[in-house]
Amino acid sequence: MTVTEKRPVLVATEADDITADMVISELNRRDVPVVRFNPADVGGDLTVSARFGTCPAPVVGQVRTPSRTADLTRVRSVYWRRPEWPSFANLSPDDSRFAAAQVRYGLGGTLYALDGPLWVNHPLRIAAADYKPVQLALAQQLGFTIPPTLVTNNPTEAREFIRMQGDAIFKTLRWTPYTRDGVPVTGWADPVTPDEIDDSVRVTPHLFQARVDKAADLRVLIVGRHTFSVRIDSELLDWRKDYSALTYTVEHLPDWVDKALHAYLDRLELVSGSFDLAVDRAGDYWWLELNPNGQWGWLETETGFPMSAAFADLLMQGDS
């Protein structure tokens, strides 16, 4: 064992994260030390101390949890899985805004200052990639076919676009936590008709898209140089609506599609991402969207693809 092999992987995620557990188990199997933390634990179970300008290394210090200490100069890689930022909901609005920002810019900022580790993925790159208009434009640039899409807060244009497409759907531009009468709700790809459009479209931009006459969906997970491509067959417009109605098979992507998806992540400086594509009845591919931090744990269980091992290999390899 060289010293390099003992450098830790930081795993930033909440405690309840079975998918992270799958990757950590693989890292344990590889005898790679893991320091798991959740930013929301700051103050109690999480301490950060970083010094700047005190020695030749630009950043020195530690992140400490109740069980582990990570030396910031020795971090091999960072797995940014599903971290929670603290909300300080018990403080006044001003104090909670202040406190939350200090954590983001103090703890987050210290981690962003490290120039050594490999990030899977860097949160600032994830944030930059999370704009659907940016994603659609880049997909077309890289040679993909995308469904005609309109982003507008003009009800007249929205109505006209939906009428022209014949079959159209509405998608949210951004997910936010939302409960209605105590029940959590979320956006689904659902058909929309012109007569459903009213003046409240004017309040914010909305995304309308032609509905692809698809034969199946594809979920393509890229982890480093690996591509895991899964065909999802169902009768559903949005396959997330009923997982029990789905069948999964391994899909062999054409070489150009595989290369273009890797190029897509390279352009956004991401090392991993989950793409949603559709195959139409003619067998042509339609690019739908990228989830830079997408869920994949259940797909490993369904397909047997060694996804968590691929994440562990990538994190182990780190910046070397």
Partner 1 sequence: MTTSVVLPTLTRPWGAGRLAPYPTATRRPHATVTIDPTTQLGVFRDRTGQVVEMGKHGTSSGTETSTTTNSDSRNDQGHDQDSSQD
Q: Considering the complex, what minimum distance in angstroms separates the CB of residue 69 from partner 1?
A: 12
Instruction: Give the Cβ contact number of residue 311 at 10 Å.
Output: 28
Q: Scan residues 2-41 and list those touching partner 1 (CB under 8 A).
A: 11, 14-22, 24-25, 28, 34-36
Return the structure tokens found at 279.
């195959």
Measured from the CB atom, is 59 or 307 closer to partner 1?
Answer: 307
- Interface residue with partner 1 among 2, 3, 92, 175 (CB under 8 A) is 175
Output phi, psi for 313, to 5 deg. Answer: -60, -45
Closest CA relative to residue 15, chosen from 7, 28, 24, 27: 24
Task: Name the residue with tokens 């060694």.
Answer: 306
- Residue 198 binds partner 1, judged by CB under 8 A: yes
Whole-angstrom distance, CA of residue 199 vs CA of residue 202: 6
How far, CA to CA in Å, does 169 sit from each of 12, 27, 231? 35, 42, 22
Q: Considering the complex, what minimum distance in angstroms separates the CB of residue 142 from partner 1?
A: 21
Closest CA relative to residue 222, chosen from 191, 260, 193, 195: 260
- Residue 234 binds partner 1, judged by CB under 8 A: no
Q: Considering the complex, what minimum distance in angstroms separates the CB of residue 170 from partner 1?
A: 6
Measured from the CB atom, is 33 or 116 closer to partner 1?
Answer: 33
How far, CA to CA in Å, does 97 sit from each of 112, 242, 266? 21, 38, 34
- Interface residue with partner 1 among 61, 194, 224, 297 (CB under 8 A) is 297
- Residue 242 binds partner 1, judged by CB under 8 A: yes
Region at 88 (left for phi over 0; alpha for psi -120 to 50; beta for the rest)? left
Measured from the CB atom, is 104 or 259 closer to partner 1?
Answer: 104
* Strand-by-strand arrangement of the 149-152 sheet: 149-152, 206-210, 168-171, 190-192
- Interface residue with partner 1 among 100, 216, 237, 253 (CB under 8 A) is 100
Q: Scan residues 260-279 and list those touching partner 1 (CB under 8 A).
A: 274
- Interface residue with partner 1 among 206, 220, 221, 286 (CB under 8 A) is 206
Q: Scan residues 65-94 and list those touching partner 1 (CB under 8 A).
A: 65-68, 80, 82-85
- Interface residue with partner 1 among 104, 214, 226, 262 (CB under 8 A) is 104
- Interface residue with partner 1 among 31, 298, 317, 320 (CB under 8 A) is 298
